[in-house]
Amino acid sequence: MPRKRSCYGVSGRSDLTRHPGGGRDLRRLGARESPEIPLSAGMAEFGGLEFLRGCADFGNDMTSNSQNLDVALGFTIPQRNARGRFVRLGLTLDLILGAHGYPSVIEKLLAEAIVLAALLGSTLKDEAGQLTLQAQAEGGAVELMVADYKAGELRGYIRHSPERLAEMPADPSLFALFGKGYLAITFDQAVTGERYQGIVPLEGGSLAEAAENYFGQSEQLPSLVRLASTRLPDGRHVAGGILIQHLPEGEEGRDRIHTRLDHPEWDHVRALGETISEEELTDRGLAPDRLLWRLFNEEQEVRTMPQVSLARGCRCDPGHIRGVIARFHPDERAEMADEKGEIHVDCEFCAKRFSLDLLSIG
Ligand SMILES: [Zn+2]
């Protein structure tokens, strides 16, 4: 049984707040307005120096795409007891996916899994903690999918059957990809050494839906998850995602005695969140805070947390591997070595092979 917990940090810094008019009106969800009032407008009354710095950053978003990529932005909507996270990745994905050469269907799946790992991992209170997403499956094209997050660094890989994938349509369903599968989400706390894990069947139409099921079943937290990824004409990857959750009757430290999946204030937040499009999630030109403004500008107050930078990262450096191998008994090390006296260690995350000379260890 997964343990109940609260791994998420919500710190108060009021960057966004009320904006009159121009909102995403639930009565006309089809009409997608473009906000002309920047997020920072009308906020001076709430601001201090910290706030003003936020405004300066915002102004630059219009000229630089790169700062809209490889970032996570946390937010809360206090009056609705909601919290959320937005993530968009660019170069991080180019580096991770570039190491593998997967077919496009597998690339898209891994890109979205990595965004999901970033959405969950970047909310960890314990900054040195690790979040691991692992999908194990049989009967589909994917056998194993792993994505993890640690201290702003992301990595991932997918083991799959190219033969099975070749038999599938261009846009296979989640079931076709995974067959009978399970999604395990593991939080390793660095400070306490504790590990929490929740497991749910990989069901539903998408990875995002499976993640929503995880939160509903494992955490009893009403959640909205949206994930999208695309490959641009220039070959670069962009993927984005949003996670919005309802925390009825206060955020932390209180029993969730009133948790209900049909809470009206959650229905409202969810309905607004659901209007987000795949294009918005993956639009390099759209700053994360501007996207939040589009979604929630009619709310009384939306607070954002400082943006977190994300990057590709792996712990497989030769020194680390040498240290791990050195802990084995010399006889075991000898068994690991090939006829040339070399020990080969593969990092599946990086699709890299490390070769160590047996005589150089110990
Ligand atoms: Zn590696």
Q: Which helix or strand (DSSP H or E) is residue 94 part of?
A: helix 91-98
Distance 57 CA to ligand 1 centre (A): 33
More confidently predicted of 273 and 215: 273
Residue 33 and residue 106 share a domain: yes
Q: Report the C-alpha gap between 299 and 25 in whole angstroms.
A: 11
Residue 182 and residue 83 share a domain: yes
Q: b/e string for 237-249 if b means 16 or more Cβ within 10 A? A: bbbbbbbbbbbbe
Q: 312, 328, 349: which is the final residue of a domain?
A: 312
Q: At what angle do helices 104-121 and 91-98 cross, to 10 degrees?
A: 130
Task: Establish if 147 belongs to a structural domain.
Answer: yes
Tell me if 228 sits within 8 A of 240, measured CB to CB.
Answer: yes
CATH of the domain at 86: 3.55.30.10
Which pLDDT tens digit goes with each residue over 288-331? 999 999 999 999 999 999 999 999 999 888 888 888 899 999 99
Distance 3 CA to ligand 1 centre (A): 30
What are the residues whose beta carbons fall under 8 Å from the beta carbon of 21, sequence distance 6 or more? 37
**Total of domains in the chain:** 2
Q: Which helix or strand (DSSP H or E) is residue 335 part of?
A: helix 330-336
Distance 93 CA to ligand 1 centre (A): 14
Distance 347 CA to ligand 1 centre (A): 5
Query: What tokens does 250 get?
Result: 């206060």
Grade residue 282 by pLDDT with cuts at 50, 70 and 90: very high
Strand partners, 240: 88, 228
Task: Establish if 3 belongs to a structural domain.
Answer: no
Strand partners, 199: 184
Task: Establish if 5 belongs to a structural domain.
Answer: no
Residue 200 and residue 111 share a domain: yes
For residue 56, pLDDT beyond 90: no
Distance 130 CA to ligand 1 centre (A): 15
Distance 118 CA to ligand 1 centre (A): 18
CA geometry: angle 120, 320, 188, nearest 5 deg: 25
Alpha carbon distance, N-terminus to C-terminus of the chain:
42
Query: What tokens does 191 get?
Result: 């400070």
Residue 356 and residue 270 share a domain: no
Residue 346 and residue 220 share a domain: no
Q: What is the pLDDT of residue 23?
A: 43
Distance 201 CA to ligand 1 centre (A): 28
Residue 191 and residue 176 share a domain: yes
Task: Establish if 181 belongs to a structural domain.
Answer: yes
Residue 353 and residue 223 share a domain: no
Which pLDDT tens digit goes with each residue over 248-279? 665 444 445 445 556 789 999 999 999 999 99
Query: Residue holding tokens 């937040």?
Result: 269
Distance 97 CA to ligand 1 centre (A): 13
Q: What is the pLDDT of residue 314?
A: 93
Residue 331 and residue 283 share a domain: no
Query: What tokens does 173 get?
Result: 């369903």
Distance 311 CA to ligand 1 centre (A): 14
Distance 315 CA to ligand 1 centre (A): 6
Residue 327 and residue 228 share a domain: no
Strands (DSSP E) along 152-209, which ranges? Answer: 153-160, 179-188, 195-201
Which pLDDT tens digit goes with each residue over 64-111? 578 899 999 999 999 999 999 999 999 999 999 999 999 999 999 999
Q: Report the C-alpha gap between 97 and 90 in whole angstroms.
A: 11
Strand partners, 153: 150, 311
Distance 323 CA to ligand 1 centre (A): 15
Task: Establish if 4 belongs to a structural domain.
Answer: no
What are the residues whose beta carbons fall under 8 Å from the beta carbon of 262, sequence distance 6 or more? none
Q: Which helix or strand (DSSP H or E) is residue 19 part of?
A: none
More confidently predicted of 340 and 22: 340
Residue 46 and residue 151 share a domain: yes
Distance 146 CA to ligand 1 centre (A): 12
Distance 282 CA to ligand 1 centre (A): 26
Range of the domain at 120: 16-312
More confidently predicted of 307 and 29: 307
Tell me if 73 sits within 8 A of 218, measured CB to CB.
Answer: no
Distance 86 CA to ligand 1 centre (A): 26
360 alpha carbon, distance to own chain's centre: 40
Residue 108 has a CB neighbour count (10 Å cut-off) of 21
Distance 42 CA to ligand 1 centre (A): 47
Task: Establish if 7 belongs to a structural domain.
Answer: no
Residue 85 and residue 44 share a domain: yes
Residue 329 and residue 190 share a domain: no
Task: Establish if 2 belongs to a structural domain.
Answer: no
Task: Establish if 124 belongs to a structural domain.
Answer: yes
209 alpha carbon, distance to own chain's centre: 14
69 alpha carbon, distance to own chain's centre: 13
Distance 36 CA to ligand 1 centre (A): 44
Grade residue 247 by pLDDT with cuts at 50, 70 and 90: confident
47 alpha carbon, distance to own chain's centre: 30
Q: What is the DSSP-derived secondary structure letter of residue 219?
A: S
Distance 179 CA to ligand 1 centre (A): 28
Distance 343 CA to ligand 1 centre (A): 16
Characterize the bridge pairing of strands 153-160 and 311-312: parallel
pTM as predicted: 0.79
Q: How would you write 233-294 as a 3-class SS string?
A: CCCCEEEEEEEEEECCCCCCCCCCCCCCCCCHHHHHHHHHHCCCCHHHHCCCCCCHHHHHHH
Q: 3-state class of 351 per DSSP?
A: coil
Mean pLDDT of 332-352: 92
Distance 349 CA to ligand 1 centre (A): 5
